[in-house]
Amino acid sequence: MKASDTKATLSFSNGGQNVELPIYKGTMGPDVIDIRKLYAQTGMFTYDPGFMSTASCESAITYIDGDKGELLYRGYPIEQLATNCDFLETCHLLLYGELPNEGEKAGFTKLVTNHTMVNEQMQFFLRGFRRDAHPMAIMTGLVGALSAFYHDSTDINNPKHREIAAIRLIAKMPTLVAMAYKYTIGQPYMYPKNNLSYAGNFLHMMFATPCEEYKVSPVLERALDRIFILHADHEQNASTSTVRLCGSSGTNPFAAIAAGVACLWGPAHGGANEAALNMLYDIQKAGGVDKIGEFIKQVKDKSSNVKLMGFGHRVYKNYDPRAKLMQETCKEVLGELGLENDPLFKLAMALEKIALEDEYFVSRKLYPNVDFYSGIVQRAIGIPVPLFTAIFALARTVGWIAQLNEMIGDPEYKIGRPRQLFEGSPKRDVQPIGKR
């Protein structure tokens, strides 16, 4: 951390002593005011629910400029990565800080590929779930359960354990998601095929059956790979912060990632792609494009509690760069599958156009986020709606683990322990039950 020459001074209107606070500069983005000693100096905490103005850590992984609509992984713009690299190169970049050269890429791909199978016992564990269980309920359980199967990579303080846990998680997530899917539809699990690419292997495990040959479509493979790249990391979002907080207690990496999966499930976060597609279905059922006006009216009426899902973002106050790339992929996939006239895609385009011109959305800087189009792409590929968030979790695993390992390797890391403003009852005495 580079200290700035400028210092912040906190003064009190009751004449209390001023407190001088150091300011640090990052390579880009807002400076931070260091308040770590504030409590010791003043006996006060800061108050920032939702972390609107709080940097919870130092990080060198992902940078977002929400006003410009810019997303960089380790300095590289997401547009360049999505166009010039594949997902495993992106994983290498996020984990180790640099894009691999050819030799490194081959070595990394082999390493991940060698860990794609899961312990055979996992399928018996999976069998305990109801067939109609939500895939995210299954994933939370399966990812947490990995710690019961891979005892040689559960010590978060051991760098070798952290490294192998990272590879195992990246390699096994597609296998687990595909197993969860096959289980819910009653088909046999397909084992990983290591001559396929990461995305191709996932498509194979999802859609192949033992009865016939399955040919991976290069367009769908590329589309899925792009979905993985776009979702790979997004700095200190809710699920990543959950992983960091969970991991800060020293728990094992599988347990920390399971916490991230659980957080991602929520409709305000990863569950938004599922919610966005369900919203499009609802508008479609109600009458399609002609009903957009009515729907937008409902969204603007605060008492309705209806939101335009796939719109708005805590950080982006401009078009989410991932949404642009996703829209491009969406057109490519629908073209490949002969679905150019897909009514849901048309509805999404019309909805987006109207929302982008509406004063409500313009004044609040609400733009489409990545989830607005990713649901349409996944549905076109044949992925069932309830599985969307599990695919997001698959892709985000590398970001979670890179952030977790960065935190553990940081000499300044401490267990995360926020404080509170207590608003409850002052101290009182328990009354005998007859007097309460």
Residue closer to ligand ACO by CB (options 173, 351) is 351
Per the residue annotation, which of 5, 371, 410, 429 is the catalytic one?
371
Residue closer to ligand ACO by CB (options 1, 268) is 268
Residue nearest ligand ACO, CB atom distance: 312
Type of residue found at 97: G
SS (H, E, C) 350-401: HHHHHHHHCHHHHHCCCCECCHHHHHHHHHHHCCCHHHHHHHHHHHHHHHHH
Q: In the chain, helix, strand, coil percent, each to 5?
A: 55, 5, 40
CB of 65 to ligand ACO, least distance (A): 16
Residue closer to ligand ACO by CB (options 113, 237) is 237
Question: What distance separates the 2 farthest-apart alpha carbons in the chain?
Answer: 80
Binding site for ligand ACO (CB under 6 A): 268-270, 272, 299, 307-314, 364, 366, 369-371
CB of 338 to ligand ACO, least distance (A): 29
Q: Is 321 helix (H, G, I), strand (E, B) or coil?
A: helix
Residue 194 neighbours by CB under 8 Å, 6+ apart: 113, 114, 116, 201
53 and 46 in contact (C-beta within 8 Å)?
A: no
212 and 138 in contact (C-beta within 8 Å)?
A: no
Q: Is 188 helix (H, G, I), strand (E, B) or coil?
A: coil
182 and 122 in contact (C-beta within 8 Å)?
A: no
CB of 377 to ligand ACO, least distance (A): 14
Residue closer to ligand ACO by CB (options 25, 269) is 269
- What single string gives the DSSP state of each residue in 71-93? EEETTEEHHHHHHH--HHHHHHH
Q: Is 231 helix (H, G, I), strand (E, B) or coil?
A: coil
Q: Starting from the edge strand earliest in sequence, which strands make up the sheet with 32-33, in order?
A: 2-10, 19-25, 32-33
| Angle at 151 (CA atoms; ends 149, 157), nearest 5 degrees | 135
CB of 401 to ligand ACO, least distance (A): 18
Whether 320 is catalytic = no
Residue 144, number of CB atoms within 10 A of its CB: 18
Per the residue annotation, which of 161, 204, 231, 313 is the catalytic one?
313
66 and 315 in contact (C-beta within 8 Å)?
A: yes
Strand-pair category, 70-73 with 76-77: antiparallel
CB of 219 to ligand ACO, least distance (A): 24
CB of 78 to ligand ACO, least distance (A): 13
End-to-end CA distance of the chain: 55
The helix or strand, by DSSP H or E, that contains position 436, with its residue range, turns out to be none
Residue closer to ligand ACO by CB (options 3, 268) is 268
Whether 132 is catalytic = no
Residue closer to ligand ACO by CB (options 179, 280) is 280
Residue closer to ligand ACO by CB (options 177, 308) is 308
Strand-pair category, 32-33 with 76-77: unpaired
CB of 24 to ligand ACO, least distance (A): 25
d(CA 378, CA 261) in angstroms, rounded, equals 19
d(CA 102, CA 99) in angstroms, rounded, equals 10
Residue closer to ligand ACO by CB (options 113, 369) is 369
d(CA 302, CA 308) in angstroms, rounded, equals 12
Q: Catalytic positions, please?
A: 313, 371
